[in-house]
Amino acid sequence: MTAGNNGADTPENDDPFAYLYRAEGGEGGAPGSPGAGGAARQPGVPRTSYNQVRAVGQRQYGQQAQQPVTYGQQNATYAAPETLPGGDRTRGVPAPGHGGEPEPRRRNGLLIGAVAVVAVVCIGIGVAMLTNNGDDTKNANAGKSGPTAGDTVKPSEQPHTKPKPGELPKEDAGSLRLDGGATTAKDVPGARSAGGTYIGGMNTPGASATWTVDVDTAGKYKLWVGYGVPGKDANLTLNVNGTTIPRPVNMGNFAHGPEGAWDKGWTKTWSYVQLNKGTNTVKLSCESGNQCDVNLDQVWLARP
């Protein structure tokens, strides 16, 4: 076997990359002759590399030579945007004429739109609640009849309807405040109030019906009372704004109904009252010494 196919004669002379090199010098480092196949190898001396070793950055592969890089200074061929004058402060600003809108204005528009949506939703909920409440009230009252005999009426919490200009108040007795055993009833026909409802139970001592009435002018008025008696006379005590009137209201059998015939005894009477401008209270009650077998159906005012 020869050195050409079994390597060097000794391990240190074995060079597996021998085919990459060519001899550039003769023995002892002397340059070889041009065109020569190269000087003979000397044991222990590595061949000279074909490509010369250069410092990092000096070798160029198919490109023009670049200027040596000096670290710590800007590269002439590249600069990051943030190193330029003004930095990247222009990134968020839209180019003029492209429909851009400043961020604060766009944010304000979104906020106004959100508030408008919330307002519309709240209004819709409010309308739905009002509508449902109205329907619930109608459904709750559907099928109910009016007051019957023995029903007790609580003091009215709703304001009385004011008369039109030039008119004086008039009220069904069933809507007055009742105390002391007075009740509403409608088993006796002939009452002139709405639905035929009237006030019964007035023959109990302390029973009363109170009317809260408003007038525009202070002065003397006629208090008219619609009532019914069972064929005999009756009377009630009158109290105006906390003051008892000495003379009771006369409720005689002016209809001349037979005794015991409540339905034949409906009639009316009146008494003078002095009222203040604004709100007044007028009370009819069964007190000691009164004859209280009477039903009441209406009260109203008239000018003297």
pLDDT in tens, 46-66: 555 555 555 655 555 555 545
In the three-class reduction of DSSP (H, G, I as helix; E, B as strand; rest coil), residue 266 is classed as: strand
Q: Which residue has the higher pLDDT, 233 or 78?
A: 233
Q: Which residue, 269, 275, 271, 276, is CA-closest to 298?
A: 269
Q: Which residue has the higher pLDDT, 5 or 112?
A: 112
Q: Which residue has the higher pLDDT, 262 or 91?
A: 262
Mean pLDDT of 140-152: 40
**Residue 242 burial by Cβ neighbours in a 10 Å radius (0-12, 13-18, 19+):** exposed
pLDDT > 70: percent of the chain = 53
Q: What is the pLDDT of residue 119?
A: 82
CA 236/CA 259 separation, integer angstroms: 19
In the three-class reduction of DSSP (H, G, I as helix; E, B as strand; rest coil), residue 178 is classed as: strand
Mean pLDDT of 115-119: 83
Q: Which residue has the higher pLDDT, 198 or 87?
A: 198
pLDDT, tens digit (0-9, with 9 covering 90-100), for 21-48: 554 444 444 444 444 444 555 666 555 5
- Please say if the pLDDT value at position 289 is more than 50: yes
Least confident of 96-110, 203-217, 279-293: 96-110
- Please say if the pLDDT value at position 282 is more than 70: yes
Predicted confidence band of residue 73 (pLDDT cuts 50, 70, 90): low
Mean pLDDT of 62-88: 54
Q: What is the pLDDT of residue 111?
A: 79
DSSP H helices, the chain, are 3-6, 103-141
Q: Which residue has the higher pLDDT, 17 or 273?
A: 273
* Phi, psi (deg, nearest 5) at residue 37: -75, -5
Mean pLDDT of 272-293: 97
* Phi, psi (deg, nearest 5) at residue 248: -70, 165
What is the rounded average pLDDT for all residues in the chain? 74
The two tokens of residue 150 are 């023995």
